[in-house]
């Protein structure tokens, strides 16, 4: 499985917005796993100890794996911060990411709809500024084959997105390759058509 993850030059990315004198600081980090998200939250509480709220949302694994989603309103009215933040985050199709939105209350109440919009917009702004790179779940496949089959076998492997990382020349040609784990079973089945090809 491949999916985008944050590709930050610094440990974190921060975008500030202001709504009716309330300051919203959206802080985004690459957080592979819930422990990394917890560290992110603790770091923000330490960095902004005088803030009124530290609301957060996390997609700690692949974007579609809701088992690793989480959120918190952190004292805001229920459903006005964490859940809208997670909704934006989960629809961004980015994995291994958490956002903490720090709020400094400006004296004017925003109301339920205003809070939902403010927190959602804060997350949208920091996601829009976040560069990403593709994370690929790779495994290694090693193939031994007669030299006269090398062209056909290499072509077959390339159709499944395999990348040859090493060639060893002996009595037979040995190819080391990386392939996405989700495609490795299909590749093995395709190569089974050649009895003289050994797959490890």
On whether both 9 and 68 belong to a single domain, the answer is yes
Sheet holding 22-30, edge to edge: 13-19, 22-30, 97-104, 53-59, 69-72
Whole-prediction pTM: 0.74
Are residues 26 and 73 located together in one domain of the fold? yes
Residues 106, 193, single domain; the answer is no
Q: How many CB atoms lie within 10 A of CB 7?
A: 12
125 and 36 co-located in one domain: yes
For 100: left if phi > 0, alpha if psi spans -120 to 50, otherwise beta; the answer is beta
Q: Is 121's pLDDT higher than 70?
A: yes
Do residues 181 and 105 share a domain? no
Q: Kindly state the tokens that stand for 174.
A: 């040995």
168 and 129 within one domain: no
Q: Which residues contact 45 (CB under 8 A, 6 or more apart)?
A: 54
Tokens representing 122 are 């804060």
Neighbouring C-beta atoms of residue 147, cutoff 10 Å: 10
Q: Which two tokens stand for residue 166?
A: 């090493």
| Shared domain check, 117 and 57 | yes
CA distances from 28 to 19, 32, 34, 106, 163 (A): 20, 13, 14, 23, 33
Is the same domain home to 19 and 56? yes
Percent of the chain whose pLDDT exceeds 70: 100
Cβ–Cβ under 8 Å, residues 180 and 167: no
pLDDT for 83: 96
Between 138 and 140, residue with greater pLDDT? 140
Asked whether residue 73 falls in the same domain as residue 117, the answer is yes
Question: Which tens digit of pLDDT belongs to each residue from 61-76?
Answer: 988 889 899 999 999 9
Clarify whether residues 68 and 109 are in a common domain. yes
Task: State mean pLDDT over 3-23.
Answer: 93
**182 in the same domain as 93:** no
The last residue of a domain, from among 134, 161, 180: 134
Structure tokens at 188: 């093995």
Domain count, the chain: 2
Domain coverage including residue 95: 2-134
Q: What is the mean pLDDT of residues 178-185?
A: 84
Query: Is 35 in the same domain as 77?
Result: yes
We report the CATH number of the domain holding residue 145 as 3.30.70.240
Give first-to-last CA distance, the chain, whole Å. Answer: 21
């Amino acid at each position: 499985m491949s999916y985008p993850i944050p590709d930050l030059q610094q440990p974190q990315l921060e975008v500030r917005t202001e709504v009716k004198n309330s300051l919203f600081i959206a802080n985004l980090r690459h957080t592979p796993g819930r422990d990394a998200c917890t560290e992110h939250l603790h770091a923000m509480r330490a960095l902004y100890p005088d803030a009124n709220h530290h609301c957060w949302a996390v997609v700690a694994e692949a974007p579609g794996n809701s088992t690793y989603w989480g959120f918190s309103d952190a004292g805001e009215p229920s459903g006005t911060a964490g859940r809208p933040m997670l909704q934006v985050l989960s629809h961004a199709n980015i994995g291994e990411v958490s956002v903490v939105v720090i709020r400094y209350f400006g004296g004017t109440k925003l109301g339920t709809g205003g809070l939902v919009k403010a927190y959602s917009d804060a997350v949208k702004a920091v996601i829009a500024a976040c560069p990403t790179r593709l994370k690929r779940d790779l495994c290694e496949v090693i193939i031994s084959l007669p030299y006269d089959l090398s062209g056909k076998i290499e072509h077959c492997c390339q159709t499944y997105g395999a990348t040859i990382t090493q060639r060893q020349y002996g009595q037979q040609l040995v190819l080391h390759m990386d392939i996405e784990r989700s495609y490795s079973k299909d590749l093995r089945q395709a190569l089974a058509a050649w009895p003289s090809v050994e797959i490890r």
